[in-house]
Amino acid sequence: MGLLSFIKEAGEKLLGHADAQAAEDPNAANQTAADAIKNYISTQGLDTSNLTVAFDGASRTVTLSGSVADLDTKAKVKVAAGNVQGVAGVNDDDLQPDDPEVQYHDVKPGDTLSAIAKEVYGDANKYPAIFEANKPMLSSPDKIYPGQKLVIPPQS
**113-134 per-position pLDDT tens digit:** 999 999 999 999 999 999 998 8
- Could you tell me how many helices (H) and strands (E) the chain has, helices first? 5, 6
pTM, 2 dp:
0.63
**Residue 137: CB partners within 8 Å, gap ≥ 6?**
none
- In tens, the pLDDT along 14-70 reads 776 555 555 678 898 899 999 999 999 999 899 999 999 999 999 999 999 999 988
The CA distance from 108 to 116, in Å, is 10
Smallest Cα–Cα separation from 127: which of 145, 140, 110, 146? Answer: 140
Domains with residue ranges and CATH for the chain: 3-97 (1.10.287), 103-152 (3.10.350.10)
**Residue 129: CB partners within 8 Å, gap ≥ 6?**
117, 121, 153, 155, 156
